Homo-oligomer: A and B are copies of this chain.
Amino acid sequence: MRTLHLIPNTLNSRTPLEHLPVSALNALKSCNRIIVESDRFARRLIKDSFPNLNPEKKESFLLNEHTTPEDLVDLLQWFKNDEDIAVISDAGAPAVADPGAAAVRIAHNAGWRVQPHIGPSSILLALMASGMNGQQFSFKGYLPRDRKIRERIWKEMKEGLSRRKETQVFMEPPYRNDRAFKECLNNLPADQQLCVAVDITLETEWIRSFAISDWKHQIVPDLDKRPCLFLIGH
């Protein structure tokens, strides 16, 4: 059966052989047609995984926020032949807080098998390491800058916390991390648990979970421009 392989990329580590399991690496090697968030990071993954493989052998299709519905018509052609295809994101799992879902939908409609491969997801790794409720949780994605929408999402998060004890997970564009951290300290009750997870899987990984009142006494590293997740919960 023709298969669309969903292959996570490392979270900016250059050691895929340490961070990806064999089944994901095998799929990465075998597919000559790749759907990528950007050529640069996908080809870096191939080069770091298989230094002797010629990355030019692989034909790529860009699928990201700039892809138009017209572009997708070209992608449909790929699903008409019988070569397996791989989706590779810039970092982490394709189609989760990252592009890729459009290709998955095409594959389901075309009757292809869709095979997700094991690999890093900063959301899941942060949730594991938070010590918070992992039985019910809600991922809000990148918080918007628009003040009104942002206020609505904060309200939803507080409702989810109080009514359903669901852990609330969100991200920011990395240059707004420091501001978001201050927003958490100012916006949440003193006994509310907050986890900050920075540079997951990298040498500089830093994950801490405290009540808001305790965060005020912590030495917090500079979060600016580093990949960071914020988790609020119990």
Contacts and interface: CB of A to CB of B under 8 A. Distances in A.
A220 interface: no
A148 B166 CA distance: 19
Interface in A102-122: 102, 104-105, 107-108, 113-116, 118-121
A142 to B, nearest CB: 8
A199 interface: no
Interface of A: 6, 17-23, 93-98, 100-102, 104-105, 107-108, 113-116, 118-121, 123-142, 156, 164, 166, 200-201, 205, 207-210
Contact of A134 (B23, B101, B130, B137): B101
Given A19-B23, A96-B124, A114-B131, 11 more contacts: A6-B128, A21-B118, A97-B134, A102-B131, A104-B209, A107-B131, A116-B129, A118-B120, A118-B125, A124-B124, A136-B140
